[in-house]
Amino acid sequence: MKQSALFPKTNKNAPKDEISTNAQLLVRAGFINKLMAGVYTYLPLGLRVLKKIENIIREEINAIGGQEIYMPALHPHENYVTTGREKIDILFHLESATGKKYVLGQSHEEIVVPLVKQYINSYKDLPIYLYQIQTKFRNELRAKSGILRGREFMMKDLYSFHKSEEDFQDYYEKSKVAYRNIFNRIGIGELTYLTFASGGTFSKYSHEFQTVTPSGEDIIYLCLKCEVAVNKEIIGEQNSCPECNAKNLVEKKSIEVGNIFPLKTKFSKAFDLMYTDEKGVRKEIVMGCYGIGLGRALGTVVEINNDANGIIWPKEIAPFDVHLISINNDEQGDAIYASLQKNGLEVLYDDRKETAGSKLKDADLIGIPVRVVVSKKTGENVEVKIRKTGETKICKLNEAIETIKGTNV
């Protein structure tokens, strides 16, 4: 798209009320806008990235049999009484015009279990894997980490329903692979570790995916050999690597970008969710739940992919494939814009009447992986710059296109 039409312009100055790197950069570069603490608008650039993350998650969850649904955010309060979660402090409470008590969904066990109960009866109906990509509301007391911890945020939540603990365990392992794929594709795989965490009162462990960065709010103890970690919350009980038993774990700050949780029969019991097995015996359904916060994933990408000049987007979730910049050469710029699009590339074309310096600075801030500059100086060629490495070259357009398509940054 043409940058002259893009809403909004970038802000040169860092916002005063943001202390986190992700929010500072994303606000300055025009990806998000803060409405109030923990509540943000996604602007066109930010929404493009969010949608790419969403589609990667959708593809990987579909690949492990997930069926997408869309549940409401308004929940009947009585369902939380049933599960004993009506007093959780992050619940938002409200009331309908007819006097019915609602809460806003902070998670969806209280909705998906009664839903499944209406349709599942026999072992033949199992297993089933339902997920959604939907807005969650959490009445957080502190919301200071930009889009890492929001009062309102987009989440992928998957719920699995099984005949047995063994069947659940099989799927739980598959979910780890799907999560690994997702974090690799969005560009945080190398710094993201499977982390053993509390399983609540009913499971020994749950598992988190923790991305190591100094800006993280969590603390994990990492086994460098096995590349797994233990969350600080359980280091008292589990003070060695759960895989090799080594004691030399390294303390790291990290961000929890995903969580998978064996629910056992906690929610099935609450709602009496049963099935009839092959012998006609009624049994409780075994459940798991699997979450990824999309905004938090996006914020984490920015926390670990930036430099003094701005954001450095990983290729697969960049808002555009290439940032084309015309410096006083709109005729050639327009022609190249058309060519790049004809080659199936998503192009942000800086056709604004700004100085060269301002355009190049904005390009660094926005952080699209490859920059292509045309000016009077470049003649028949273009100048290509890789955002991540800073590497530049002057070449023919065809070679530039190959670079854009092939660049693994």
Among 119, 245, 247, 280, binds its own copies (CB under 8 A): 119
Of the candidate residues 25, 26, 56, 130, the single one contacting its own copies (CB under 8 A): 130
Helix (H, G, I), strand (E, B) or coil at 44: helix
Binding mask 176-215 for its own copies (x = CB under 8 A): ----------------------------------------
**For residue 250, how far is the Cα from the chain centroid?**
26
Is 63 in contact with 158 (CB distance < 8 Å)? no
Between CA 198 and CA 129 the distance in angstroms is 23
Using the rule CB under 8 A, is 123 a contact of its own copies? no
Q: Which of residues 1-40 bind its own copies (CB under 8 A)?
A: 5-9, 33, 35-37, 39-40
Q: Which stretch binds its own copies (CB under 8 A): 67-75, 238-246, 260-268, 274-282?
A: 67-75
Please identify, among the stretches 63-71, 165-173, 361-369, 378-386, the one whose residues bind its own copies according to the rule CB under 8 A. 63-71
Place of tokens 């007093």: 87
- When the beta carbons of 45 and 397 are compared against its own copies, the nearer one is 45
Number of neighbouring beta carbons within 10 Å of residue 209: 25
State the nearest-atom distance from the C-beta of 132 to its own copies, in Å: 8
Return the SS3 of 367. Answer: coil
For its own copies, the binding residue among 137, 183, 267, 337 (CB under 8 A) is 137
The correct pick among 29, 50, 178, 325 for binding its own copies (CB under 8 A) is 50
Beta-bridge mates of residue 251: 221
Q: Cis link prior to 127 (omega < 30° from 0)?
A: yes
The reply on whether position 278 binds its own copies by CB under 8 A is: no
Which CB, 105 or 211, lies closer to its own copies? 105
> In this chain, which of 81, 88, 115, 395 binds its own copies, going by CB under 8 A?
115
Q: In this structure, are residues 252 and 222 in contact, taking their beta carbons and an 8 Å threshold?
A: yes
Q: Is 41 in the site for its own copies (CB under 8 A)?
A: yes
According to CB under 8 A, which one of 18, 109, 152, 157 is a site residue for its own copies?
152
Measure the CA angle with vertex 351, ends 350 and 355; round to 5°: 80
Establish if 42 lies at the interface with its own copies (CB under 8 A).
yes
| Cβ 163 vs Cβ 197: under 8 Å | no
Name the strand (E) or helix (H) holding 362.
Answer: helix 356-366
Can you tell me the distance from the alpha carbon of 29 to that of 47, in angstroms, rounded to the nearest whole number? 13
Does 100 participate in binding its own copies (rule CB under 8 A)?
yes
76 counts as binding its own copies under rule CB under 8 A: yes
The residue written with tokens 């608008």 in the block is 41
Return phi, psi of residue 228, to 5°: -125, 165
Convert 260-273 into a string of H (helix), E (strand) and C (coil).
EEEEECHHHHHHCC
**98 in contact with its own copies (CB under 8 A):** yes
The rounded Cα 322 to chain-centroid distance in angstroms is 22
Interacting residue ranges for its own copies, rule: CB under 8 A: 5-9, 33, 35-37, 39-44, 47, 50, 65, 67-76, 89-90, 92-94, 96-98, 100, 104, 111, 115, 118-120, 125, 128, 130, 135, 137, 139-141, 151-152
